[in-house]
Structure 1
Amino acid sequence: MPPPGGGGETVVPYATTLVVDVDEPELVPRVPGESVRLLAQVRVAVLDRAQGDHADPGQLALLIALDLAEHRRERMVTAMRAALAAMPSGAWFAVVTAAGGRGNGNGPMRYYPAEPGAWTPADRQHRVNAAFAMGAAPLAADGAPKSSGYEGWLGEARRMFAGCDRPLRRLLLVTDAGTGYEDASLTEELAACGTSFTCEVVAVGTGWDYQPLERIVSRLRGTADHAGPDFAAELAEAVRRACRRAVPALPLEVTVRPGVRIESFVQFKPQHLELAADPLSGPLRHVFHALPWDPEGTGSDFLLDLRVDGAGDPLGEVLQFAMVSLGPQHEAVTARWRDPGLPPARTASSASDETTGGSSRFLDSRNRMIAHLKKGLTCLEAGRRADAERHLGQAAAVAHRLRARWVLDEIEVWGDIHDAAAGSVSVSLPADAHRVSVTLMRLGARSANEGTSRTAGRQHTACPRPDCREPAVPGALYCVRCGEELS
């Protein structure tokens, strides 16, 4: 299969590297009518050679969406002051709030600046004006259901960014309990958003549902964090995160030959995330929008899982089953069908096992470990003890083999590990639904390759109430679960 050519290729104005490794290049067994699994590790690095840690403010547009109830007004004003102070001079910004927050409908509306579709520079005067205006910003009425789902906030952001010519566009969605969503509508809106902007989420309080938030940040290449009643530190950090230097979206493309299908495409660095192909791509050419590339050239690792049908293929010949592309760079995914009657070729790669870092089998084991951990927590939240113990036990067994201590520590929060190697785990019910949600959202921000979260290595504290003991991030003033003041 020749590499894709012709016009329409993505222009990559940065120094990039693309490497594809198939560490087990022989496909066996060859059984008529059955497909075979083919794993390939994809490594990407992107370097823009710019100076400094932050993006050029002249390229940035920040939209803050305040999906909050009226009783949070005072703390919202404090948080917005911190957010405005964290913006670099020269960036554009705007604020969207809930319209008619006193009972006349709660759909999103442009609030600052007041002109429809307008953006304003983050200079001293506009920061002061915006901070003052926040005291009268309409918020959702307390106790009233919010009429606009998450798809409504995303739709308003999409319309705002459509009139913005700055290339680095960031949405900061601050949300608490009460906003619902419809699967079909949210899916449709996320598809419409495409890669026109990224999204950082701050989930305030305890009543939010982690699932739509995880979908939003996964599709829009952002991160989600949770916060207690006082969320100024978290919102300011989200602003700083959004303003970090980042290479604009460079999609990875995977073109497969007929008879090959993509089972999954998982990113491991900088975050663990299962990528979804652009719904407009396919059936043979699939476009994946990964998380923003590290502009300093730190590598990103991916695992490409293919199902290969070899009907009619010759034995023993190196064949191309797929092509991975990053702009003008193309790397082939090749393997060969081995005659079942012949011994396998002895290669260094085929001798590696799943505990050897840097191999596709190692990444596949990591992916299965995290998938079982997530499924186990979901079953735990639903009160399904047997299913929770089965999935958490399988996660523990893989973690034991891979020496992933952080996974075993996480499981021990929810129960006891009797024999990690055998996958013997027992859990305690009922489980705290909010703590499960926080954990599942944190897993979306954990680097599966490094086994650390964004706050790894930093001192954590916990709620002092004996009946709570909710972990807290550095700088938190109140417990995100019960509201108790932290020491």
Structure 2
Amino acid sequence: MPVDPGAPPATERPSVRLAVDQWKYLSATEPHPRMHVILSVQVTGTGGDRRTPLLAQVLVVDCSGSMSQEKMHAAQRATAAAIRKLPDGAPFAVVRGDGDATVVYPDTGGTARADDRSRRAAERAVRRLVAGGTTCIGAWLDLSRRLLAEQDAPIGHVLLLTDGKNQDGDRMPLAEVLEGCAGRFVCDAWGIGDGWDGRELLRITSRLHGSASAVREEASLPAAYEELMDRLLAKTVPRLDVLVTPMTGTVVRYLKQVHPTEAWLHPEGGSHRFVTRAWGDETRRYQLCLDVDPAGRPRREDLQLAVVALDAPGVTGLLLPQPQPCEVHWTEDASLSAHTDAHVAHFEQHQQLGEAVAAATDAHRRGQPDRAAEHLGRAVQIAEAMGARTLLRRLSELVDPGAPAGPVRLRPGVTTADFEHLITASSRSTFGPPSAGATAVPQLTTAARTTCVDCARPAPATARFCPSCGHRFPEQRP
């Protein structure tokens, strides 16, 4: 069934849709051909009965010595705002992060169940936090893993805030900790101040199926935490598994999420089952790469390379779609095999955009402003081609395009922190072309609609986030 991310659910019962987009023609004469496929997965109708808490939450607050009084106050207010959002009965804990990790609420260790009393007590514990010590993010995540392992809530989540880089990695290597945490919970990581590392946050959130964000003004952090909690509490499907069954002669090379953020998926054991976590009403896109061999295969006909199916272990009452085939048509016609699927091309552009931003950041760190500007100029070109309007606005804060034929230049006063913010912003992709064959988005009345600046698709005027691409709308808009 084709995916239309703007369409309302066809039934009140929670359901999942799956669409496959690809350019099926591959050269039968080129060595080592690969098939790239974009999978669009949409979940709708997940409102459901939430009397049983689905969420277990760990709130990690960076209390290292670099946390200034202003940053600490913002962190305290934001953490308190998140605590107030917790539904009754949800297990939760607050962790102090420095060179180690300590549970500051509940004071007995472990977790507490959310109610009026425990929420008030947790806020008091948060207000008593003071800064001091170093930064060991691996210890923070490892303690979070152990806390969540004690809970039976189907959705485990860690909300992590830091203003610095992982300094004590030798004592608790982050790579090893991430492997131990992968598949156990989802982590969203936030940067505050000007000393954090955007790529380090993305490394964490990509492995733990979350997102990396940051605030420029400390005062905006509480509202950002509240919005994140609203989205988190709307997720009622703990997991969806993508099952890829390759045909003889086909090898599954990788599956990665490409929208709304990039995340590499790792198969369970030696299988081709890829686990995705914590769904609400949303659409995500994945890129499947298959190694294929044309030797001995028929020409001038469509052949099945693999079958993609979705599964929801332990989730009842969810309507799942029919499995969908991935196909190939071997050809000697170069005019056919030279084409690339528009969906694949879109996300390849997004990858190039991220590489340009990373190269600009490295050049700026090396004290090479002209090289940084050159890479950002390339990023501007790609963002314009993709229609990534939000990112273009971010880029315009760092560079001055100058004359049409001249090079771009860094604006005066650009800092390292500006590049870290750009890295996290560039990790969010635009939706790309609609899935082939998708039905048209129902037209909303002028008074009841708005248009997303990232994907140009309509949304209800009351929406806080675009239902198609997840872009956050400003609080006041026409």
Q: Is the 8 A contact 1:90 1:123 kept in 2?
A: yes
Q: By how many angstroms is 1:67 displaced?
A: 2.0
1:310 paired to 2:294:
yes
Q: By how many angstroms is 1:219 displaced?
A: 2.0
Q: Is the 8 A contact 1:376 1:389 kept in 2?
A: no
Q: Distance in 2 between matches of 1:171 and 1:400?
A: 35
SS of the aligned residue for 1:158 comes to helix
Q: Is the 8 A contact 2:354 2:427 kept in 1?
A: no
1:127 paired to 2:119:
yes
Q: Is the 8 A contact 1:68 1:176 kept in 2?
A: no
Equivalent residues in 2 for 1:415-454 (5 A)? 415-417=399-401, 425-428=407-410, 431-449=414-432, 450-451=454-455, 454=471
SS of the aligned residue for 1:66 comes to strand
Q: Distance in 1 between matches of 2:363 and 2:248?
A: 41
Aligned to 2:175: 187
Aligned to 2:447: none
TM-score (structure 1 length as normaliser)? 0.72
Q: Label 1:202 to 1:155 Cα distance change in 2 as closer, same or farther (>3 A).
A: same
CA deviation vs aligned residue, 1:229-273 (integer Å, no higher than 9, x gap): 44433333343333223421213233445665556644344x131
1:44 paired to 2:34:
no
Q: Is the 8 A contact 1:202 1:235 kept in 2?
A: no
Aligned to 1:252: 242
1:243 paired to 2:243:
no
Q: Label 1:395 to 1:121 Cα distance change in 2 as closer, same or farther (>3 A).
A: same
Q: How many residues matched?
A: 413
CA deviation vs aligned residue, 1:422-451 (integer Å, no higher than 9, x gap): 9x7433288411011011112224544345
SS of the aligned residue for 2:17 comes to strand
Identity of aligned residues (%): 25
Q: Distance in 1 between matches of 2:114 and 2:386?
A: 48
Equivalent residues in 2 for 1:166-181 (5 A)? 166-177=153-164, 179-180=166-167
Q: Distance in 2 between matches of 1:135 and 1:407?
A: 36
CA deviation vs aligned residue, 1:384-415 (integer Å, no higher than 9, x gap): 55754554444444444444444544443333
1:156 paired to 2:143:
yes
1:455 paired to 2:443:
no
Q: Is the 8 A contact 2:370 2:409 kept in 1?
A: no
1:65 paired to 2:53:
no
Q: By how many angstroms is 1:292 displaced?
A: 3.7
Equivalent residues in 2 for 1:55-454 (5 A)? 56=51, 58-69=53-64, 71-72=68-69, 74-98=73-97, 106-117=99-110, 119-137=111-129, 139-141=130-132, 144-146=133-135, 149-177=136-164, 179-180=166-167, 182=169, 185-227=173-215, 228-230=217-219, 231-257=221-247, 260=250, 265-269=255-259, 271-278=260-267, 281-282=269-270, 285-290=271-276, 292-293=278-279, 295-296=280-281, 298-327=282-311, 329-340=322-333, 359-382=342-365, 383-384=367-368, 388=372, 391-417=375-401, 425-428=407-410, 431-449=414-432, 450-451=454-455, 454=471
SS of the aligned residue for 2:53 comes to helix
What stretches of structure 2 of length at least 5 have no aligned partner?
1-12, 312-319, 433-453, 456-468
Amino acid in the other structure paired with 1:36: P
What stretches of structure 1 of length at least 5 have no aligned partner?
1-12, 461-487
CA deviation vs aligned residue, 1:198-221 (integer Å, no higher than 9, x gap): 122232222111122112222222
